[in-house]
Amino acid sequence: MAGYRRNKLVILMFLAPAFLIVTFFEMIPVGSTIYFSFHNWPGIATAPLKYVGLQNYANIFQNDDFLRSLKNVLWYVFWSVIGQVGLGFTLALMIYHVRRGTRFYKASFFLPLILPATSIALIWYFILFPTDMGVVNHLLDSLGLGTLKRAWLVNPNTAMAWIIIITTWSSIGYYTTIGLAALAGLPDEVMEAAEIDGAVGLRRIWSVVIPMIWESIRISVVLVITGVLKIFDLIFILTDGGPNGTTHVPATLMYKEAFEYNNYGGGSAIATVIFLLSIVLSVLSLRVMGSGKREA
Amino acid sequence: MRRLTFRMLILCLSLVFVLAGCGGGSNNGSSSSQNASAGSGSGGSNNGGDKKVEISIMTRWGDSDPLSPFLNEVIAKFEELHPNVKVINDSISEEASYNNKLKTAIATGETPHIFYWPGVAGITDWAKNGVLMDVTPLMEDKEWFDGFISGAFEIWNLEQYGVAGHYGVPIGFNPEVMYYNKELFEKAGITKEPETIEELYDVIDKLNASGVVAWGMGAKDTWRLGHLHTNVFYHLNGVNAAKELGTRTKKWTDADVVESLALVKAFKDRGAFQQGFEGIDYNTERSDFLSGKSAMMLNGAWAIAEIMASDSPYKDQFDFFPFPYYSDKPEYKSDDVLYNEAFFLSGTMEGEEKEAAIAFIKFISGKEMQELKLQKYERLPSRTDVQVSESASQMMKDMFEYMGTIQNPGGDVHDYDPNPALIDVIRNSLVGIMLGSTPEQAAQEIQKSNDSYDNSRG
Amino acid sequence: MNAMGSGKWRKSLTSGFLHVFLLVYALICLYPVYFSLISSFKKNDDIFASPFALPTSFNWQNYVTALELGNIFRYFWNTLLLAGGTVVLSALVGAFAAYALARFRFRFQGVTLIYFVSGLMIPIQAVIVPLAYIFGQVKWNDNYLVLILLFTAFMIPMTVFILTGFAKSIPDELEEAAVIDGCGHWRTFWHVIFPLMIPAIATASTFNFINTWNNLIFPLIFIKKKELSTISVGLLSFFGERTSDYGAVTAATVITLLPPILIYVLLQEKVEKGLTAGAVKG
């Protein structure tokens, strides 16, 4: 049996397809991006790359917009993890508990995931419409909270918050699905034991079920972190980094530098920073959340 | 048993998809070659295995754009005249996607044969690196060249930015004017079109008193504020000042430039725009104007065709007046906005492709097609040897006439600046001013962007 | 008797409360579809004039525009082909890799997992130009087979991540039983591991399908021929230089919502069926 688990040839053969595909189509381009980040290049095929060492990195870290975008994205990640994993798994637990109408709920929560970013932006533009015509403002009025009305997406204080809300809302479906899959894989005996105790079972669920699906929660956290750090489309369409650059995240700045300002080296530097930030935050979160508690 | 079946299902599915992948690729390959041969067949009895010359054109006139049928019509006519040429239309209207595609193509050496790009100074890098073709030799074709609006080609003369040569072929011009709703003006007791800014303030007051939004402004689409600023700037400081900003003879922190920023805010302070206009986009602004919620809209000549195509109940009530001038700056009365549009030719073309591309661009910017554009599609041409059609709307005729009277035209203020980030910085700073920062702060932000651009190019 | 009674009552109260919460949230999620639906029957200017009002009539013009101008059927099929191929390839290749990473021991095991998972950290915009360069040089544009490989490359990280996590939790006894029965690695994989991973595969495949379905940048850059393009690129047709035809956009959106929902529903059944079939029971 020991030989079974150490057969090098078999290991290699099973890993090879994925390894080759990823290396060629992902890692090599990433390598060139990192390479670009040490050069100045205006994005023209015939223009030479000018080696500038760490200059691009120095530039971006001295740039106020970039630093602000880093701050934005860290908040973004923080609240997204809480919102998407927290709320996502809570919804999964709820669906799991009620057992009826599950197909309806699952399909509903899933829907925002498949909407194209343009549709999401259009709808939320109207929901957050600055005058009384907007749903949010209208609601505030009818609740007697009219003084809280704002031009939500263009107010520097609220724009980022709404972006976080909209993103969370559109991505929760992923994590509800993961949560449900994890819950479905739990052995029946434990769930039955938890059921019998009724309301007290809520606490039982916390101390029994959660640890058993902990692995999938950890995975989800990493997925949220890496996903959020890459988000570009939604922010670009909703606010284009506005108002006045207050909702920029590194990904949108990267796009601007590389594709609008012809500063390809700078854009690549930002991309590399995103890449490294992803790795650091993911490793941190995995460490913090423990090495995965196995079922008994 | 179940497992075996499922596994076989997976294997079968993957085989199917792999085959589909191969088949999809080659099927489509063969069908497109069928199309090509069918095309050359209909163009003439050309079956002798003549391969078609393919040229690609990339514009912002994507499928839904009002000018897309124009482009397609031009292409169809051109292919009739040149049966051995196939023109591939790669146009995309959406800005980010267009940017992505074009910039990637240029970065990988696959510049489209003909393409559109807004702006002037921003193309300097491209010109320096051979991405663009110098069209000065083409200007020798007097028959074609003489019909253009005088001085049009000089707009894309990059000498002052360090590259000799002319690089763009003008394809259209668009003045910007203040459209207004005559009915709403009458209701507010306004009897004549304002000529000075002071008169405009008066008009705004009267409109507000009559209960409509005086001036629609969808500032969420930041280019709206950018356009307003350009108009104010030219009437305050003259078009030349914008050119001086671009060559660094002037700075954004100069008092008169700062004032142009402040005067944009002045309109908000006067109550011209509706509450929350910072969060309204251009679609809403336009819709409000067409439905009579707002009385004025600052827009380019392209809006005429849009207005005429709409269902607005006020269609025959719309008219326009030129952007008013500042009465203490009468010397800049006719320094007006005239947005310029040009197509560029790739600098790396050779042989038959180059000839075909040159032929195409002369065709689309030539008298016949420009007249088609004006008469059938109600969009202004880049030539003076064309006529407005008799059946055109009155607004169109007036606009055409107005265009001829502009003494000192200028494009966007940022057109004259080589800093590609400038357009965003100006627009964002304007939004910032609306939200509370001072014009001085905004001017400093803008100047900083130019400074860091200059340093990085140093 | 009383204790049982109050327990049940509390249970149904909890249930009721949960249902309310779930229902409210479900409505919040369904609202955009409803909104897209009503907008799809309005003209663009009407959408901006009165966005929340019900359409005054069933104007099918937008759907006609979507189908004709947007060439939706053609793009539909194309996108389905690409997404389907990607899902299948990712599932296979990902499952292979997960098997090696979860059920074996070797040096650099952790590093290898990190290598795969780091693919998640790459912002796609950044790698477009190098990829475009390669594709241009080797003339791989418009090649669906290569495109499927490309999409798969970007799906593998998440797939391997999820599958490895799930594969780790499969009890050793089942594998050992297979080995004792005389199965080699290959048969053990197909008869024991793979079936047990089906819920995870279905989950990952759902995500892979959606990501490929919605992906805009790859088809935008790597597909040159219009007839080979995908839905996401097709939607761009409705955007004008300054304004857009949101009536057509929403109509196209409604049309294209169907396959992903179907896939989701189908694969979800698979998750549940797969569990009862290859039960992890003792």
pLDDT tops 80 at residue A62: yes
Please report the pLDDT score of residue C177 as a whole number.
86
- In chain A, which residues have their Cβ closer than 8 Å to the Cβ of C15? 97-98
Please report the pLDDT score of residue C73 as a whole number.
81
pLDDT tops 50 at residue B1: no
B227 in reach of chain C (CB within 8 A): no
Lowest mean pLDDT among A253-267, B14-28, B200-214, C143-157: B14-28
Q: How many CB pairs lie under 8 A apart between chains B and C?
A: 133
Partner-chain contact B220 A259, CB within 8 Å: no
Question: What CATH code is assigned to C71-277?
Answer: 1.10.3720.10
Residue B282 is nearest to which of C84, C190, C243, comparing CB atoms?
C243
Q: Render pLDDT for B194-221 as a digit per residue (tens, 0 to 9).
A: 999 999 999 999 999 999 999 999 999 9
Residue C5 pLDDT level (bands cut at 50, 70, 90): low
Helix locations, B82-191, DSSP H:
95-107, 124-128, 142-145, 182-187
DSSP chain C: -HHHHHHHHHHHHHHHHHHHHHHHHHHHHHHHHHHHHHHTTS-HHHHHHSTTSPPSS--THHHHHHHHTT-HHHHHHHHHHHHHHHHHHHHHHHHHHHHHHHH---TTHHHHHHHHHGGGG--HHHHHHHHHHHHHHHT-TT-HHHHHHHHHHHHHHHHHHHHHHHHHTS-HHHHHHHHHTT--HHHHIIIIIHHHHHHHHHHHHHHHHHHHHH--HHHHHH--SGGG--HHHHHHTTB-SS-B-HHHHHHHHHHHHHHHHHHHHHHHHHHHHHHHHT----
Residue C245 is nearest to which of B32, B64, B291, comparing CB atoms?
B64
How far is the alpha carbon of C59 from chain A, nearest alpha carbon, in Å? Answer: 19
Residue of C236 and A13 predicted with greater confidence: A13
Please report the pLDDT score of residue A191 as a whole number.
64
Q: Is C277 exposed, middle or buried (0-12, 13-18, 19+ CB in 10 A)?
A: middle
Question: What CATH code is assigned to B53-174+340-406?
Answer: 3.40.190.10
- In chain A, which residues have their Cβ closer than 8 Å to the Cβ of C31? 123
Q: Which of A39, A40, A46, A50 to mutate to test the interface with B (most CBs of B within 10 A)?
A: A46
Interface residues of chain B, partner chain A, Cβ below 8 Å: 96, 99-100, 103, 106-111, 125-126, 129-131, 219-220, 222, 274-281, 348, 420-421, 424, 428-429, 431-432, 435, 437, 456
Residue A198 pLDDT level (bands cut at 50, 70, 90): low
ipTM for the assembly: 0.85
Please report the pLDDT score of residue A1 as a whole number.
57
Q: Render pLDDT for B262-310 as a digit per residue (tens, 0 to 9).
A: 999 999 999 999 988 998 999 899 999 999 999 999 999 999 988 988 8
Q: Cα–Cα distance between A250 and A256 in angstroms, integer?
A: 10
How far is the alpha carbon of B107 from chain A, nearest alpha carbon, in Å? Answer: 4
Q: Which of B16, B34, B64 to mutate to test the interface with C (most CBs of C within 10 A)?
A: B64
Q: Least CA distance to C141: which residue of chain B?
A: B25
pLDDT tops 60 at residue B17: no
Q: Render pLDDT for C138-160 as a digit per residue (tens, 0 to 9).
A: 888 889 999 999 999 999 999 99
Domains of chain A by start residue, with CATH: 50-288 (1.10.3720.10)
Please report the pLDDT score of residue A118 as a whole number.
81
Please report the pLDDT score of residue B356 as a whole number.
95
Q: Which long-range contacts (CB under 8 A, 24 or more apart) does A236-239 make?
A: A236/B96, A237/A117, A237/A118, A237/A121, A238/A121, A238/A124, A238/A125, A238/A153, A238/A163, A238/A166, A239/A153, A239/A154, A239/A159, A239/A163
Partner-chain contact C278 B66, CB within 8 Å: no
Partner-chain contact A181 C200, CB within 8 Å: yes
Q: Which two tokens stand for residue B247?
A: 């060559």
- In chain A, which residues have their Cβ closer than 8 Å to the Cβ of B222? 240, 242
B97 in reach of chain C (CB within 8 A): yes
Residue of A187 and B151 predicted with greater confidence: B151
pTM of this structure: 0.87
Residue of A131 and B284 predicted with greater confidence: B284
CATH of B175-337+411-457, one of 3.40.50.150, 3.60.40.10, 3.40.50.720, 3.40.190.10: 3.40.190.10
Q: How many CB pairs lie under 8 A apart between chains A and C?
A: 269
Partner-chain contact B100 C217, CB within 8 Å: yes
For chain B, what are the domain ranges?
A: 53-174+340-406, 175-337+411-457
Q: Cα–Cα distance between C246 and C36 in angstroms, integer?
A: 9
pLDDT tops 80 at residue B60: yes
In this prediction, residues B128-144 reach a mean pLDDT of 94
Partner-chain contact B22 C145, CB within 8 Å: yes
Partner-chain contact A185 C280, CB within 8 Å: yes
Partner-chain contact B93 C84, CB within 8 Å: no
Please report the pLDDT score of residue C274 as a whole number.
54
CB-based burial, B135-147: b 16+ in 10 Å, e otherwise:
beebeeeeebeeb
The subunits that touch chain C, with at least 3 C-beta pairs less than 8 Å apart, are A, B
Q: Cα–Cα distance between B99 and C271 in angstroms, integer?
A: 42
Residue C183 pLDDT level (bands cut at 50, 70, 90): confident
**CA of residue A110 relative to chain centroid, distance:** 16
